[in-house]
Chain A
Amino acid sequence: MIMINVHSLIKAYNKEIVLNIPELTIQRGEVFGLVGNNGAGKTTFFNLILDLILPSKGHIINNEVKVQESEDWKAFTGAFIDESFTIGYLTADEYFGFIAELREMNQADLEKHLGRYTDFFNGEIRGKKKFIRDMSKGNQKKVGIAAAMMGNPEVVVLDEPFANLDPGSQFKLRQLIKDQVAEKGTTFLISSHTLDNITDVCSRIVILEKGKIVKDVAKTASTLKEIEAFFTGVVVEESNFNLD
């Protein structure tokens, strides 16, 4: 069953094409990993899915809703792009409360949802009278990610969720994503510019380079090598050279 459908999508700034995806479909329950270097167009693509910027051409359909035309996708889509997705002058609990109300969750739902994040939060987020703007970058990110998964969304978009997190938290986040997929069949769209985390959680990996999809493979042991080679090719060669 198709969750997200991209039709001849082009985003250009002053005639310079930054994203060009002629055709892309993402299945329900897929964990879609988007990998690419800085400026490859990952965030642009996510912003287009969330209707935060307008495409120059084409459109995106999210669960039968044409994103550029209707707002109904908001009811089943959660997202965290960067720290600007949190509200600096609220405490974490107030922020969760605010999002919970927008997502029409009651107090019990909220507690149940956040209960799953106890480990991930590491006792530094909840029950603190500390504004989000005063938290560390990593903790701000944790708040944003937990809020993005609120209200049983069918699609969750996470831009660079692993960056700025300590290794322990990265591991816990991977587990949280896997659990959510197994229990609820949520579709995830995750981007990263490093491979280790994304290859662990994702079922499908797409490599974006200069706005174009250059590789699109399901994750298996053999494709993993292929992807790694694509990315680290240059580095591997160099190190080999040194060893020799």
Chain B
Amino acid sequence: MKRSLNYFAWREVTRSSAFGKSMATTIMLGFLALYFIVNFLALGFMLPKLITEKFPNAYPVSVFNSYLLVYFGFDLLMRQLLQSLPTISFKPFIILNIKRSRISRYLLIRSVFHFFNFLPYFLLIPLTFTLVAPHYSTLATVAWFAGILLMIFTNHFLTTYLKWWINESGYGFYVFVGLFLALYGINFFKTVDLTGLFGQFFDTILHQPALAFVLIIPVVTFYLLNDRYLRSNLYLNLVDKKQKDSTVRDFSWMNRFGDYGKFISLDVRMIWRNKRPRTQFMMTILFLFYGLLIYKDQGHGIPDFMFIIGGLMMVSFFSISIGQFFPAWHSQYFAMLMTQNFKMKQFLQAFYYMNVAASFVYFLLSLPYTLIDTRVIYYHSAMLIYHIGVNMNLIFFFGKNSKRALDLSGSSMFNYQGMRATQWLMVFPLVFGPLIIYALLKLALGASGALLVLGGLGAVGILLQPHLFNYFTKAYLQQKHRLIRDYKNS
């Protein structure tokens, strides 16, 4: 009996620990997926109208086409950061009587089932019906749609191929970023109008549908390149690449920060050297650009709520993202820490100071938005103080109920290992807390009054911090045995 390898893939998905996740996670995931889908659908229906408003003299389809390269460019960049290599669980197969070509085909085809390859349809399908179908023949519409589809898969396999290469050479990523920026620059300064040319190509497809076949070439090329790479590299060390000397960064200078230094440098190394916290950290850097999206004047000034959301997303997102799993980041060696001669208080304080420093850096990095609106500085300052005084303590408060150990080496995107209802629940007070407080206070005191109280609450928290540390130290020590047991059993 020859069983399809896909059978194992399906079993692996349905039996993975992430699949049997808690009810709360399932519900939240459902909401999140729905949110993205609704957004993309809405964009799909609104875009034609927006385009005709902004570019009244151009063909809407051409305008859309001229932005395609920009979209694919950023898609490629996002994929570089978030898409993982298709190496999962091939180990059991390589010693069995299965041809390498079959394993490689299985891995590559399986990798196609990725979030990034599904999301665009919610935008594309309504667009195809509103923007393209009414003006062009069915054949042209199909060719146009197929062309974009092929580009999505090109990006998919290109990403994979680039990642093999980046994985092998330490400088690969920088070459990629350099090349990306160079192309961006060439395009930006109109040395060569790449986006225009790419857009024109898609315009031409609408008139010469047969041209869409050209786009099959890159997909097949990159697929075959991946296939060739996999066939000749399908050995055990394909995945577990050992750390190279040059990439071991030394953080020992941090030890000088007094008593907390040793734990701060441990925290920093933990974040930098493990895949999951590191990707989470990278995401928080990406979120610094969130302001470009939401700080937009729609004609009657930026609504002040946006600044609260922006402050949260840019200033405190690092602590929220890393803090929601505190102290489970240290779960793998938690028992060892508990036999060492140090005070729990130091451990908590070190995490606190690292977050204070990080939030301050993010605050500084978010200040250029003041150029868009001067109110940014007031709102972000208030959010910084509120975050340090209130949210940090909430993180400690929820952290003492931590239950699941974290697998540091897991990939971080859409990884719900170690996720429990607590993690979802704690996001509510952290994110909606300041929003609700601000909204209520604004009704009573007006915007600046509300802002002052928000900052004031933070200041109170900061002043009470020594007492709060004593309280949390006691609370964490009380939870010690339960934490050790739960981490071991999960």
Closest to A68 in B: B481
Across-interface contacts of A217 in B (CB, < 8 A): none
Contact with A along B9-53 (1 / 0, CB 8 A): 000000000000000000000000000000000000000000000
Across the interface, do B243 and A130 meet the contact criterion of CB distance under 8 Å?
Answer: yes
A91 proximal to B (CB < 8 A) = yes
Closest to B240 in A: A134
A129 proximal to B (CB < 8 A) = yes
Across-interface contacts of B333 in A (CB, < 8 A): 84-88
Q: Determine how close the nearest CB of chain A comes to the CB of B155; give it in whole angstroms.
A: 32
B285 proximal to A (CB < 8 A) = no
Closest to B262 in A: A101
Across-interface contacts of B340 in A (CB, < 8 A): 74, 99, 102-103
Contact with A along B253-292 (1 / 0, CB 8 A): 0010000001000100110011000000000000000000
Across the interface, do B341 and A103 meet the contact criterion of CB distance under 8 Å?
Answer: yes
Q: Determine how close the nearest CB of chain B comes to the CB of A194; give it in whole angstroms.
A: 25
B484 proximal to A (CB < 8 A) = yes
**Other-chain residue from A84, A91, A102, A104 in contact with B332 (beta carbon distance below 8 A):** A84
**A52, A54, A79, A130 pick with most chain B CB within 10 angstroms:** A52
B342 proximal to A (CB < 8 A) = yes
Given A53-B481, A74-B341, A101-B255, answer yes or no on A86-B336 (Cβ-Cβ < 8 Å): yes
B297 proximal to A (CB < 8 A) = no
User: Would you list which residues of chain A between 125 and 143 have a CB under 8 Å from chain B?
Assistant: 129-131, 133-134
Across the interface, do A52 and B338 meet the contact criterion of CB distance under 8 Å?
Answer: yes
Cα–Cα, bound, A84→B342 (Å): 18
**Other-chain residue from A97, A130, A133, A134 in contact with B252 (beta carbon distance below 8 A):** A97
Across the interface, do A75 and B243 meet the contact criterion of CB distance under 8 Å?
Answer: no
Across-interface contacts of B242 in A (CB, < 8 A): 130, 134
Across-interface contacts of B248 in A (CB, < 8 A): 91, 129, 131
Closest to B255 in A: A101
Across the interface, do A85 and B335 meet the contact criterion of CB distance under 8 Å?
Answer: yes
B485 proximal to A (CB < 8 A) = yes
Across the interface, do B485 and A53 meet the contact criterion of CB distance under 8 Å?
Answer: yes
Cα–Cα, bound, A135→B248 (Å): 15
Closest to A47 in B: B335
**Other-chain residue from B240, B245, B270, B341 in contact with A102 (beta carbon distance below 8 A):** B341
Given A52-B484, A97-B252, A101-B262, answer yes or no on A89-B270 (Cβ-Cβ < 8 Å): yes
B57 proximal to A (CB < 8 A) = no
Cα–Cα, bound, A91→B242 (Å): 12
Closest to B405 in A: A84
Closest to A133 in B: B409
Across-interface contacts of B266 in A (CB, < 8 A): 87, 90, 98
Across the interface, do A85 and B336 meet the contact criterion of CB distance under 8 Å?
Answer: yes
Closest to A144 in B: B336
A216 proximal to B (CB < 8 A) = no
Closest to A104 in B: B341
Offer 5 A-B interface pairs, CB within 8 angstroms, sorted by A: A89-B274, A89-B408, A97-B252, A102-B341, A134-B240
Q: Which 4 A-B pairs have the closest CB atoms?
A: A85-B336, A74-B341, A89-B273, A129-B248
Known: A74-B340, A75-B341, A85-B336. 13 other contacts (CB 8 A): A52-B338, A74-B341, A81-B336, A85-B335, A86-B333, A87-B332, A87-B336, A88-B332, A89-B273, A89-B274, A130-B243, A134-B240, A134-B242
